[in-house]
């Protein structure tokens, strides 16, 4: 639901990260032609006003435990929980021990595509429980098995621990897809915010070592490279006043990457990877009023330059983290339906 900062580093000029004039993407968000409207969605404005009235503090003014409690309480914004015929909690073997995973199957008895999902939360907050309702909705909309991974969190487990968990869980789930009623030949890696970082890094690592084969990746407003010095327009324009602040981004990254040298490691910053050739087709969701917006657009550009098929879903008037707030923001449910349609079109 929250995450980090933006950088293009040696692979691009921060000044080239485009804002309201980004062109070329005919995303399902309806912004083909490349011009952002520059106006918050009314639901988003009402949510910000409510948070201000309640005195909600940015994450960098909270303790880790307070931040986790605040995110855990955000389920009140998610709307009612839908019922699915099969929801199972598993413990998977991983290099650090047993790893919890929740598996959602909308049609037991059928072999459906497998979506391995990593939740957002700035590498510090969030959980399978907090992401439960969005995962249920995605499983139903996409007619797919969704496996939501409870990776370890910073600061108790900084980089590369969460990425290790993401890699271990992906490999196990692909190898045991039949047991889950899923088809490993139709494997999708997905994540939002910090989970989008883990998804992107996982895909890069798995492609580099030759398997399992990944059919597609879905990155929802991902955080892809840390920097306190980013000059991206979206970070400058949206770094205050839109729920996720620049100070909060720095706070999350400081917990995830206590070693400054790791900020240049492409396993932590997938945008900095030298070679993106051979990656699977990609969907990237980019909200207009997200400080990380231009980071997602920069990754889309780099993927296209590597001849990867990319669809950018540009969501006008939307905030970072909006997909988790379907009870308050109508754009969340609309996005779920678009993602579901995309999965069905690609994999059925």
**Which of 338, 227, 304 has its CA nearest to residue 23?**
304
Distances (CA, A) of 239 to 45, 87, 118, 230, 327: 16, 38, 24, 11, 25
Instruction: Report whether 119 contacts 131 (CB < 8 A).
Output: yes
Given 193, 227, 232, 234, which residue is catalytic? 193
In the annotation, is 193 catalytic? yes
Helix (H, G, I), strand (E, B) or coil at 205: helix
The three-state DSSP-derived secondary structure of 271-313 is HHCCCCCCCCEEEEEEEEECCCHHHHHHHHHHHHHCCCCEEEE
Burial degree of 176 (CB within 10 A; 0-12, 13-18, 19+): middle
Of 84, 60, 1, the C-alpha closest to 290 is: 1
Query: Taking the CA of residue 96 as centre, how many other CA atoms within 13 Å lie in the half-sphere pointing to its CB?
Result: 17
Q: Tell me which residues are annotated as active site.
A: 193
């Amino acid at each position: 639901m929250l995450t980090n900062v933006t950088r293009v580093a040696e692979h691009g000029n921060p000044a080239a990260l485009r804002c309201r004039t980004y062109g070329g993407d005919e995303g399902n968000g309806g912004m083909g032609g490349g011009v952002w409207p520059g106006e918050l969605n009314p639901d988003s404005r009402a949510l910000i006003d409510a948070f201000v009235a309640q005195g909600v503090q940015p994450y960098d003014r909270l303790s880790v435990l307070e931040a986790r409690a605040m995110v855990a309480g955000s389920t009140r914004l998610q709307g009612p929980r839908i019922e699915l015929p099969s929801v199972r909690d598993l413990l998977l073997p991983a290099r650090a021990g047993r790893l919890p995973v929740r598996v959602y199957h909308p049609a037991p008895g059928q072999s459906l595509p497998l979506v391995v999902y990593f939740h957002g939360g700035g590498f510090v907050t969030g959980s399978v429980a907090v992401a439960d309702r969005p995962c249920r909705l995605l499983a139903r909309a996409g007619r797919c098995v969704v496996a939501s991974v409870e990776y370890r969190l910073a600061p108790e487990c900084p980089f590369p621990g969460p990425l290790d968990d993401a890699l271990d869980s992906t490999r196990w789930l692909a190898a045991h897809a039949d047991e889950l009623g899923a088809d490993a030949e139709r494997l999708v890696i997905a994540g939002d915010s910090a989970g989008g970082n883990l998804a992107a890094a996982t895909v890069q690592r798995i492609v580099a070592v030759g398997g399992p084969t990944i059919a597609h990746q879905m990155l929802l407003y991902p955080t892809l490279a840390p920097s306190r010095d980013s000059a991206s327009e979206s970070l400058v324009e949206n770094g205050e006043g839109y729920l996720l602040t620049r100070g909060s981004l720095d706070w999350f990254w400081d917990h995830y990457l206590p070693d400054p040298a790791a900020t240049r490691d492409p396993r932590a910053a997938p945008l900095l990877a030298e070679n993106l050739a051979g990656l699977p087709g990609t969907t990237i969701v980019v909200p207009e009023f997200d400080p990380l917006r231009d980071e997602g657009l920069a990754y889309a550009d780099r993927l296209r330059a590597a001849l990867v098929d990319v669809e950018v879903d540009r969501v006008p008037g939307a905030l970072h983290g909006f997909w988790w707030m379907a009870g308050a923001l109508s754009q969340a449910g609309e996005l779920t339906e678009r993602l579901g349609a995309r999965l069905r079109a690609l994999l059925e």
